[in-house]
Structure 1
Amino acid sequence: MKPIHTYWVDQEGSPVSCVEKLRVLRENEDEIRQVLQDAFEDGVLMGVTPEGMRRSFEAMLNDLKDPTHKG
């Protein structure tokens, strides 16, 4: 099953329509989904609870830095 892609919007809330930007965003999304799925499966197979893996991923997302924000 092919994953459903995110509906991307810009800073003003308008849909991103540039074909090249959408291609890169979708490729990144596909890669991230696969890496997350692989890491999730590894963790669960090594005995970590699914909830624990999800909490770990959420913590990583919360630590992401906005490259446009200085400070």
Structure 2
Amino acid sequence: MPKWYSDNGEIVSCTEKIKVMAENMTELYQAAQDAFEDALLMGCSETQLREYLQRLVAGVENPYRQD
């Protein structure tokens, strides 16, 4: 797992926050892996799947942004 940083460059050091991040990233990876494998078994293009997953991640919105 990577070290997590705030927008101002400080390391997120709270043990509980790091634990939650690790759990969330593991769950996210497993969900993506399962969907990827299912799509491959259904005959979908690996290249298209990878491109779609990249667009999916790029499209995640920050509801906490202060404009």
**Partner of 2:11 in structure 1?**
15
Count matched residues: 67
Uncovered stretches (5+) of structure 1, i.e. residues with no partner: none
Shift of 1:58: 1.0
Shift of 1:7: 2.1
Shift of 1:39: 0.4
**Partner of 2:59 in structure 1?**
63
- CA-atom RMSD in angstroms: 1.4
CA deviations 1:38-68 (Å, max 9, x no partner) are 0010111111121111111111112111122
One-letter code aligned to 1:23: K
Percent of residue pairs identical:
34
The normalised TM-score by structure 1 is 0.84
Uncovered stretches (5+) of structure 2, i.e. residues with no partner: none
